Amino acid sequence: MDFKTAVANEILTAIRAAFGEVDIAAADIAAALEIPPDTAMGDYAFPCFKLSKALRKSPIMISDALAGTIHADFLGKVESVKGYLNFFIDKAMYAEKVLGLALEQGERYGADDSGAGKTVVLDYSSINIAKRFHIGHLSTTMIGNSLYRLHKFFGWRAVGVNHLGDWGTQFGKMIAAYKRWGDHDTVAAGGVDEMVKLYVRFNEEAKQDPALNDEGRAWFKKIEDGDAEALEIFNWFKSVTLKDAERVYDLLGVTFDSYAGESFYNDKMQPVIDELKQKGLLIEDKGAQIVDLQDYGMPPALILRSDGATLYITRDLAAARYRKETYNFDKSLYVVAYQQDLHFRQLFKVLELMGCEWYKDCEHVAFGMVSFEGGALSTRGGHVVYLDDLLHQAIDKARAIIEEKSPDLDNKDEVARQVGIGAVVFFDLYNNRIKDIDFTWERALNFDGETGPYVQYTHARACSVLRRAGEDAAEPDFAALSDPFSQDVVRLIEQFPDILKSAVNRSEPSMVTRFAVDLAQAFNKFYYENKVMVDEPGTRAARLMLTDAVRQTLKQALYLIGVEAPERM
């Protein structure tokens, strides 16, 4: 039973009975229903001031008139309080319907087919070739992964794109360094670390011998021109980098459908440049080619440098056009740090000026910066935290905690992996994505705070209760779930579908993360206040049903943010 819709229908029926036909739909009433902050004020509240203009009466008069006419069997009572209609759902029926629906729908609880027939393209992670995967890539990777899973949950066709940073003069320098000082076996064995050493050496040597930079530019020109040797080395560098990155992606449970990076669009930019010229959008400025955006409160979008070189926005314009033509997306999300806000505003404006109506379907999903233990990250300053190091440290620390708290636990290594990785991911996705994050071990791996391990432990606790109970054939007595602690849990489970829909619509995975904490906290209060394995069969069956619904909902919430749910901890 959809209680929100049922309440809305009752309100509409009462309005018509008291005031005649009005131009309002039950869906509008349902959208206006609020969940009071205090359950003493009801399960739902309808602000009658929304009807004042149409009915030409005060909210209090409307509320008083309607309250006495609503008598549905699923309602315990209806109150009129200062222009609000407060609805109290019959608690036993409420628990029965919510828990019954959740367990009946199983892993699909909260899902619908609103995305059926639609495609979303998600651009996330976007690591750089010949550089190690560091903690700064964590947010884009995990926000993108969560949005990928959320969209698929609602029936969307999701296309995950890892827009590799694989273009620029630095790759010519890499090849020059490799040709001078590198060898195949050393780079193959050492991976990205060896490539970084070569690049660092090149820059150091170039300070003494600036002619090396010309050599680097010459090799990059060979890449641009399709030289066989240059491309062979360049593509090998990419495969070595991706092999390194794949280990991190495997740990995180992240996959992609496309690795088309900047170099992929090298032969796709000219048609875009030609179109900009044909539409009179390109203007020459000091030898460079720009799109003037002054009328829109932005600096010019630089499309071509004075030497004819392309830029990020040139490639992003080509990428946007390619993605629309290839996937015919209904939504295109760019999960990129907020420092690139101007870049994406310029990109979307240029698309609009080109007449691409689908520019409205493009969204910059911005996020804040990551620091570690209070220190800002800086590649040049040497303060870099590599993601694979961080994840393995997290697993080791989780393993130590498990040894201390649960030394007899089976499969300790697997659980340590689930908890360690989960702690890092959960911590990253806990706050609103636009906020900056300071990662600290003490908070991330805390089993008592608002953390991944806390939620995972709560899931494991629910699994443990259900294992001990075994099969229970008793008929549930839902009146046993009328206490405030049980009702708090039921109310959260009912809200789960709306939370997920909001998370998708707002591109905000933290809504799911925070929901998981709220549900875990509510269940733990219920668990301490209400003994589950009581002698009375009906009460025990009802409380086990609630426990099973919590287990299932927590597992699903964790999955949608990219965290595993251990059954034993």
Q: Tell me if residue 131 is catalytic.
A: yes
Does residue 178 sit in the same domain as residue 258? yes
Residues 292, 419: one domain? no
**420 and 479 fall within a common domain:** yes
Query: Does pLDDT of 104 surpass 80?
Result: yes
Give the residue among 164, 112, 95 at the shortest CA–CA distance from 133.
Answer: 164
Whether 155 is in a domain gets the answer yes
For 285-308, the three-class secondary structure string (H helix, E strand, C coil) is ECCEEEECCHHHCCCCEEEECCCC
Same domain, 483 and 521: yes
User: Which residue type sits at 320?
Assistant: A
pLDDT tens digit sequence for 496-530: 999 999 999 999 999 999 999 999 999 999 999 99
Same domain (yes/no): 326, 409 = no
Confidence bin at 2 (pLDDT 50/70/90)? confident
Q: For residue 4, which phi and psi values (nearest 5 degrees)?
A: -60, -45
- CB distance 46 to 84 below 8 Å: yes
Has residue 370 been placed in a domain? no
- Is residue 372 situated within a structural domain? no
Kindly name the residue from 91, 97, 131, 364 that is annotated as catalytic.
131
If one counts every other C-beta atom within 10 angstroms of the C-beta of residue 542, the result is 27
Residue 241 sits in a domain whose CATH number is: 3.40.50.620
Distances (CA, A) of 539 to 90, 482, 492, 526: 17, 11, 20, 14
* Per-residue model confidence as pLDDT tens digits over 120-167: 999 999 998 988 888 889 999 999 999 999 999 999 999 999 999 998
What pLDDT score was predicted for residue 379?
Answer: 47
Q: Which of 333, 365, 397 is the last residue of a domain?
A: 365
pTM of the entire predicted model = 0.91
pLDDT in tens, 75-87: 999 999 999 999 9
Domain CATH code at residue 29: 3.30.1360.70
CB count in 10 Å sphere of residue 32? 17
* pLDDT mean over 301-312: 89
> Is position 512 within any domain?
yes
Say if residue 380's pLDDT is above 50.
no
- Is residue 382 over pLDDT 90? no
Q: Is 459 a catalytic residue?
A: no
Q: How far apart are CA 421 and CA 558, in angstroms?
A: 12
Residue 107 placed within a domain: no
Residue in 97, 137, 173, 364 annotated catalytic: 137
Task: State the catalytic residue, choosing from 91, 134, 173, 364.
Answer: 134
Measured CA distances, 442 to 401, 404, 423, 427 (Å): 12, 16, 11, 11
What average pLDDT does range 318-337 have in this prediction?
Answer: 98
Identify the DSSP state of 474: S
Residue 354 and residue 391 in one domain: no
Note down the domain range covering 12: 3-89
Is residue 255 located within the same domain as residue 325?
yes
- Residue 511 maps to a domain: yes
Asked whether the predicted pLDDT for residue 280 surpasses 50, the reply is yes
**Does 114 reside within a domain?**
no
Clarify whether residues 304 and 410 are in a common domain: no
Structure-token pair, residue 74: 């699923």
Mean pLDDT to the nearest integer, 166-192? 92
**Total of domains in the chain:** 3
| pLDDT at 438 exceeding the cut of 90 | no
Which bin fits 285, alpha (ψ -120 to 50), beta or left (φ > 0)? Answer: beta
Sheet holding 84-89, edge to edge: 44-47, 84-89, 75-81
Residue 386's pLDDT band, with cuts at 50, 70 and 90, is confident
Same domain, 492 and 542: yes
Residues 525 and 409 in one domain: yes
- Domain edge (last residue) among 49, 72, 89: 89
Could you please report the per-residue DSSP string of 414-467? HHHHHHHHHHHHHHHHHS-TTS-EEE-HHHHT-SSSSSHHHHHHHHHHHHHHHH
